Amino acid sequence: DVKVTQSSRYLVKRTGEKVFLECVQDMDHENMFWYRQDPGLGLRLIYFSYDVKMKEKGDIPEGYSVSREKKERFSLILESASTNQTSMYLCASRDPGFSYEQYFGPGTRLTVT
Amino acid sequence: GQQLNQSPQSMFIQEGEDVSMNCTSSSIFNTWLWYKQDPGEGPVLLIALYKAGELTSNGRLTAQFGITRKDSFLNISASIPSDVGIYFCAGFNAGNNRKLIWGLGTSLAVNP
């Protein structure tokens, strides 16, 4: 079974802090994704990476950056956290040569105070 | 970014009832995916559809790829309490298989 793990289920940070959200997948997938989920807005793509060190902006990249130094790990960075970044953050991975399915982690609920 | 039009937004039904939800797009899609998200968890794929007209079942769930390639439907028969959650449709535009387009979800509540 594919396993996507996220470093924290719940996180509370202060405004202005630099925040790192970590995601690890164990199936050697090439593609990885970061989404945020807010009530009534569905899943919105922040960034995705189709290979190591290759990344592409999604629909809402402002205020975020990403890092993918190793194939299995994709990090989302909030350079200076703000209260409007309080949200559920979901990481996903996919093997583009096998199927269109994205496998999701359990999510990190981030609260910025 | 583009989003799919998913309806209904929410449903509250009695256990044992059948459920229908659908997703429409203004452009042609070549793949449709249906996901379910349990409370506090990430979405999990239920059914994937790859051909226009395709009808696929997964237990009590049946999904169809619309013949126009601009819509898809999900039906749940004889609902049970564990069907509670948010159901999302998602798909790939023809010619772009890198970025999934998502619906806003249908929230399902089941009264035992």
Q: Which residues of chain B have pLDDT under 70?
A: 1, 97
Lowest mean pLDDT among A25-34, A90-99, B11-20, B80-89: A90-99
Residue A24 is predicted with a pLDDT of 97
Residues A60 and A111: their CA atoms lie apart, in Å, by: 18
A39 touches chain B (CB under 8 A): no
B94 touches chain A (CB under 8 A): no
Q: What is the DSSP string of A59-112?
A: S--TTEEEEEEETTEEEEEESS--GGG-EEEEEEEE-TTT-SPPEE---EEEEE
Residues A1 and B17: their CA atoms lie apart, in Å, by: 32
Residue B1 is predicted with a pLDDT of 64
B86 touches chain A (CB under 8 A): no
